[in-house]
Amino acid sequence: MQCGLLLERRYSAFKGPLAVDPLYVENNQRIHGLLHVVGLALLLFSLIERQARRAAGPTGTVAGLYARRPARPTGRLILEALADLRLVPAHGGQPAYIPRPTPLQQRVLDLLGVDPTKPP
């Protein structure tokens, strides 16, 4: 029964933050491809949430994540916190970098194991 609840929660994420606008798809191959892309998005969404929750420590919360209060990391809250980040592409021998993340964004990046000062 626990697995069924987790699947339902993921399906609600598909209908919510990962919602896709209506599309007209002309053939079955494109429908199949679209379903693969949406499935991969759900998988990434779940993995981001899992990594942040594991790294959040014993309290399981991140300060300032929800309405400037501590909250348990969810995929939606994590992506909302990181939505304003910009990546400056590599140019002229300089590596790509993320300019000045906010303290909350830096905390989330730390939870996810992403160092914005080092290129991938």
CA 101, 75, 63, 97: dihedral to nearest 10 degrees?
A: -10
Q: Which helix (H) or strand (E) holds 62?
A: strand 62-66
Query: Amino acid identity, residue 114?
Result: V
- Tell me how far apart the 2 most distant CA atoms of the chain are, in Å: 55
pLDDT single digits (tens) 8-31:
666 666 566 556 667 777 889 988
Residue 106 has a pLDDT of: 92
pLDDT single digits (tens) 27-46:
899 888 888 887 888 888 88
Query: Amino acid identity, residue 34?
Result: L
Helix 28-55, helix 103-112: angle, nearest 10: 100
Q: What percent of the chain has pLDDT over 90?
A: 33
Picking from 117, 41, 105, the residue whose alpha carbon sits closest to that of residue 78 is: 105
Structure pTM?
A: 0.73
pLDDT single digits (tens) 60-116:
999 999 888 899 998 889 999 999 988 888 889 888 877 888 999 999 999 999 887
Residue 1 has a pLDDT of: 45
Picking from 75, 80, 120, 81, the residue whose alpha carbon sits closest to that of residue 97 is: 120
Tokens 């990594």 map to which residue?
51
